[in-house]
C-alpha cells in the first residue's frame, strides 16, 4: 500500500534537481568562498549567482538577500534586527504568526493584531493600533496552519499613507513591513515591490530544498542590527562561513518552485476542490476552517465535530496516511493552537481538527482514498 504524505506544510522532500545542484559543494567544491585561490573564488561566484537568482525571483537587488539557516533565523533577524536598531520603537505582529515571529516580538513592546474568523488580519483594527512609536509591522504572507493568505499588498498601501503623514509632521521613525513568506513561496507572487514589503522571510525546507536554508530579504533602505557577529559575511548581518551547498540548493529550489508556481497552483486548487466536494458528500458534518476565498491551494484544514484528532491521526497513520493535527499541541488535553484560538475556534473543536497539506506528489486518487478512510474512521 502506498503511503500518502499530507504534511507538506511541515516538510517537503528535496527535489532531485536541487540535490544534484548541491552535491558538488560537499565534495570537490568544498572551498571556503572567502579564500583567495581560484577554486575558492569560483565557489564565491556560484554563491553570488545563487544570490542573484533569489534576488531575481523577488525583483530585488542581490545585495538585499541575506542567506540564513532557515525561516526561524530569518524571522529573528527581522524582528530583533529592527527592534535593536530602534530601541524606543514598538511593533505590531498578527496573532496568527509563527512562533519564530511571536517569541522574538514578545521581548519588545508589542501589540497583537487580531484576525477574523477565517484567519485574515483585520486591517482597519491594525491601523488603529499604529502609533508614533511603531517601527515595525509583521504579518505573514500565508498561514502555516489554516493556509489563509493575508492582504499584504493592501496593508503596505495603508502603511504608505501613514509614512507620508509621518513625514509631514517631522516624525523620522521608519515604519517597516515584514512578511514571513515561508508557506507562500511555492504558490504566491514573491515580487517585493509589487507586495510593498521591506523585509521578507523565506525558507528552503518548505519548497523542496534543504532544511536550515533560507533568506531574509532586507530592502536597501532598511536599518538592521546583526544578531550573529564574527567574520562579517552576508553584509555583516549574518557572520559565519556560508553554507554554500544549502544556499545553492535553496536558490535552485526557489527558482524551480517559481517556474512550477502557476501549474502547481492550478493542479492543487483542483485537488483542493475535489477534497472539499468529497468531504461535503461523504462527511457532511466536516467543517472547513480558514478562508475559502483566500487560501493556499495545498491546504485543507477541517474540524470533525466530536472526534479526537490524536486518535484520528494515529488511525490515519496506521492506514498509511501521514497528516497533522489542526493544533500544535501534542496531546488532546493541551491548549489549542494560538492560530485557532485567535480565529475563535473552541478548544473542543480545535481538538477535533486536522491539517492536511498537499504537494507535488499528491494525486486525485490519494484524495479519494484519504476521504474514504476518514469517512470510515468517523
Ligand X SMILES: Cc1ncc(COP(=O)(O)O)c(C=O)c1O
Q: Which residues of this chain interact with ligand X, rule CB under 6 A?
A: 70-72, 75, 98, 100, 140, 144, 180, 182-183, 203, 205, 214
The per-residue b/e assignment along 275-309, b for 16 or more CB within 10 angstroms, e otherwise, is bbebbeeebeebebbbbeeebbbbbbbbbbeebeb
CB of 100 to ligand X, least distance (A): 5
Question: Is residue 98 a contact partner of residue 140, using CB atoms and an 8 Å limit?
Answer: yes
Question: Is residue 251 a contact partner of residue 281, using CB atoms and an 8 Å limit?
Answer: no
Tell me the longest C-alpha to C-alpha distance in the chain: 67
234 vs 371, which CB is nearer to ligand X?
234
Tell me the Ramachandran region of residue 147: left when phi exceeds 0, alpha when psi lies from -120 to 50, beta otherwise: left
Question: Is residue 97 a contact partner of residue 339, using CB atoms and an 8 Å limit?
Answer: no
71 vs 249, which CB is nearer to ligand X?
71
Cα gap 44→51, rounded to integer Å: 11
| 201 φ/ψ angles, rounded to the nearest 5 degrees | -95, 135
CB of 108 to ligand X, least distance (A): 19
299 vs 303, which CB is nearer to ligand X?
299
The residue number with the shortest CB distance to ligand X is 71
CB of 348 to ligand X, least distance (A): 25
Q: Which of 274, 315, 329, 377 is catalytic?
A: 329
CB of 214 to ligand X, least distance (A): 6
Residues in the chain: 378
Active-site residue flag, 329: yes
207 vs 278, which CB is nearer to ligand X?
207
So which residues are the catalytic ones?
A: 329
Amino acid at each position: 500500500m502506498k503511503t500518502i504524505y499530507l504534511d507538506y506544510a511541515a516538510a517537503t522532500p528535496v527535489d532531485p534537481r536541487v540535490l544534484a545542484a548541491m552535491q558538488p559543494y560537499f565534495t570537490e567544491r568544498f572551498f571556503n568562498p572567502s579564500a583567495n585561490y581560484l577554486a575558492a573564488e569560483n565557489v564565491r561566484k556560484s554563491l553570488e549567482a545563487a544570490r542573484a537568482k533569489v534576488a531575481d525571483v523577488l525583483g530585488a537587488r542581490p545585495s538585499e538577500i541575506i542567506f540564513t539557516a532557515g525561516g526561524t533565523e530569518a524571522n529573528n533577524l527581522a524582528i530583533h534586527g529592527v527592534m535593536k536598531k530602534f530601541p524606543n520603537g514598538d511593533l505590531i505582529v498578527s496573532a496568527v504568526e509563527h512562533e519564530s515571529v511571536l517569541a522574538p516580538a514578545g521581548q519588545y513592546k508589542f501589540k497583537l493584531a487580531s484576525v477574523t474568523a477565517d484567519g485574515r488580519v483585520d486591517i482597519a483594527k491594525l491601523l488603529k493600533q499604529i502609533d508614533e512609536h511603531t517601527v515595525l509591522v509583521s504579518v505573514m504572507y500565508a498561514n502555516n496552519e489554516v493556509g489563509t493568505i493575508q492582504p499584504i499588498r493592501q496593508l503596505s498601501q495603508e502603511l504608505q499613507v501613514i509614512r507620508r503623514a509621518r513625514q509631514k509632521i517631522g516624525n523620522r521613525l521608519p515604519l517597516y513591513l515584514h512578511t514571513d513568506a515561508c508557506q507562500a513561496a511555492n504558490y504566491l507572487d514573491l515580487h517585493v515591490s509589487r507586495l510593498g514589503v521591506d523585509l521578507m522571510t523565506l525558507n528552503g525546507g518548505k519548497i523542496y530544498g534543504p532544511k536550515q536554508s533560507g533568506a531574509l530579504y532586507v530592502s536597501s533602505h532598511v536599518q538592521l542590527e546583526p544578531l550573529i557577529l564574527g567574520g562579517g559575511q552576508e553584509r555583516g548581518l549574518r557572520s559565519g562561513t556560508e553554507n554554500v551547498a544549502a544556499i545553492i540548493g535553496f536558490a535552485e529550489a526557489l527558482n524551480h518552485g517559481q517556474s512550477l508556481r502557476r501549474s502547481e497552483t492550478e493542479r492543487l486548487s483542483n485537488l483542493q476542490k475535489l477534497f472539499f466536494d468529497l468531504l461535503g458528500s461523504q462527511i457532511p458534518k466536516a467543517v472547513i476552517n480558514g478562508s475559502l476565498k483566500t487560501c493556499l491551494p495545498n491546504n485543507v484544514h477541517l474540524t470533525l465535530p466530536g472526534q479526537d484528532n490524536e486518535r484520528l491521526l494515529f488511525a490515519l497513520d496506521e492506514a498509511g496516511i501521514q497528516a497533522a493535527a489542526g493544533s500544535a499541541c501534542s496531546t488532546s488535553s493541551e491548549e489549542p493552537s494560538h492560530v485557532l484560538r485567535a480565529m475563535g475556534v473552541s478548544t473542543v473543536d480545535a481538538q477535533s481538527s486536522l491539517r492536511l497539506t498537499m504537494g507535488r506528489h499528491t494525486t486525485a486518487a490519494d484524495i479519494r482514498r484519504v476521504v474514504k478512510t476518514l469517512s470510515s474512521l468517523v
